[in-house]
Structure 1
Amino acid sequence: MYLKGYHIIGFIFTVILGTLLHFTYQLSGNNIIVGYFSAINESTWEHLKLLITPVIIFSIFEYFIYGKNINNFILLKALTMLLGMFVIVASFYTYTGILGNNYLPLDIGTFILGTFTTYYFSYRFIQKRFLYNKNINYIGLFIIAFVIFCMIYFTTNPPKIKLFLDPQTNTYGVQ
């Protein structure tokens, strides 16, 4: 399959699995292990897990299919995941700042936009050999490990800032 096809499949996979991850914590009976990788509340941070988890899972699949032959594959996946996270946060706070409230269709739109950004730039960067260096993947592994650490740590120990605030309950983290 061509590179473009894998990125289209990755986009679809991430949108579907990310949507399901919105509900898995509650469906699991509030299992904390499930909560580390899925949304435990309605905070912006917890919704970033809906992008992060499927992107990492699909990137592992891609790595074994074709990524191990691309010198910068892991770094590019890490950077484009961060870019998608940024797009979600920036677009969410921009539109809610303008409109004064959040709306479910626009929330879904920010997730889809972040997912599209992740896979579009991954495709373009791989295609253009951006940051093409054999030893640069260690930086990507560090970024991914750090993001996973943050997902786990901030589930139970969130900073008391708006990014981590559940606007429905006015609480932070696991309750």
Structure 2
Amino acid sequence: MNTHERKQDVIFTRRYQWLGLVVISLLSIPLHFTYEWLGQQAVIGLFTPTNESIWEHLKLIYWPIVLWWGIGFIVFRNSKQLSWLKWLTAATVSLMVIMAFIVGWYYTWVYGIGKSSSLIHMSSLFIAVPIGQLLGIHVYRVVKPCFIYQVISLILFILFGVMFIYFTFAAPDLPIFVIPN
């Protein structure tokens, strides 16, 4: 890839992921209520929160990110000459940062500061998604394609997907899976 193509690749990635800030955040809002709206069907619960635990709320980020980054790569990989290795690594960084921020935000507010409200919990989403997406853009721009990054990224994406599905029906007795009072 020459310098001009690389620059166009980065410009496209930035624009696409900035749009992703909005789409991922907006997708997350109705997903919060979808399980209840559709009659608490088990198959819907695999992709949406089935209760108010912090773990279940991470589905609000995981599935929209999988869709956004996955569809983006499939649609634009040829026309924009996207690098699969870099794209997957950037998506993984975005996902991990967003989920870590949301968990940290929740525990800081609820247990560190002693405050809990829907506004505080929703604000984590609107802070975490921009941070994660911006880091994803940065990683895509600077990371050198590396097979080990792809393997780790793929393992993390698959592992979290399997865990979200499995723990929907068999949540361990750990604080992150407990429904808050």
Q: TM-score range by the shorter chain?
A: 0.7 to 0.9
- TM-score scaled to structure 1, two decimals? 0.88
Unaligned runs of 5+ in 2: 1-10
Is the CA contact 1:73–1:137 (under 8 Å) kept in the aligned structure 2?
no
Q: What do residues 46-73 of structure 1 show as CA deviations (whole Å, max 9, x unaligned)?
A: 1111011100000111212148721321
Give 1 or 2 for the bigger CA radius of gyration. 2
Distance 2:173 2:100 in 1: 19
Q: Letter of the aligned partner of 1:150 in structure 2?
A: M
Match of 2:60 among 20, 25, 50: 50
Distance 1:102 1:83 in 2: 22
Match of 2:135 among 118, 121, 142: 121
More displaced 10-residue stretch of structure 1: 136-145 or 50-59: 136-145
Q: Letter of the aligned partner of 1:75 in structure 2?
A: T
Is the CA contact 2:73–2:87 (under 8 Å) kept in the aligned structure 1?
yes
Counterpart residue number, 1:34: 44
Q: After TM superposition, what 4+ stretches of structure 1 lie above 4 angstroms from structure 2?
A: none
Distance 2:144 2:156 in 1: 15
Is the CA contact 2:89–2:140 (under 8 Å) kept in the aligned structure 1?
no
- The structural deviation recorded for 1:134 is 4.8
Counterpart residue number, 1:107: 121
- The answer to whether the aligner puts 1:18 opposite 2:28 as a matched pair is yes
Q: Please, what is the CA RMSD of the aligned residues?
A: 1.7
Match of 1:160 among 162, 165, 173: 173
Is the CA contact 2:54–2:177 (under 8 Å) kept in the aligned structure 1?
yes
Q: What do residues 71-99 of structure 1 show as CA deviations (whole Å, max 9, x unaligned)?
A: 32112212320111000001111122233
- The structural deviation recorded for 1:158 is 0.6
Percent identity, aligned pairs only, is: 22
Counterpart residue number, 1:6: 16
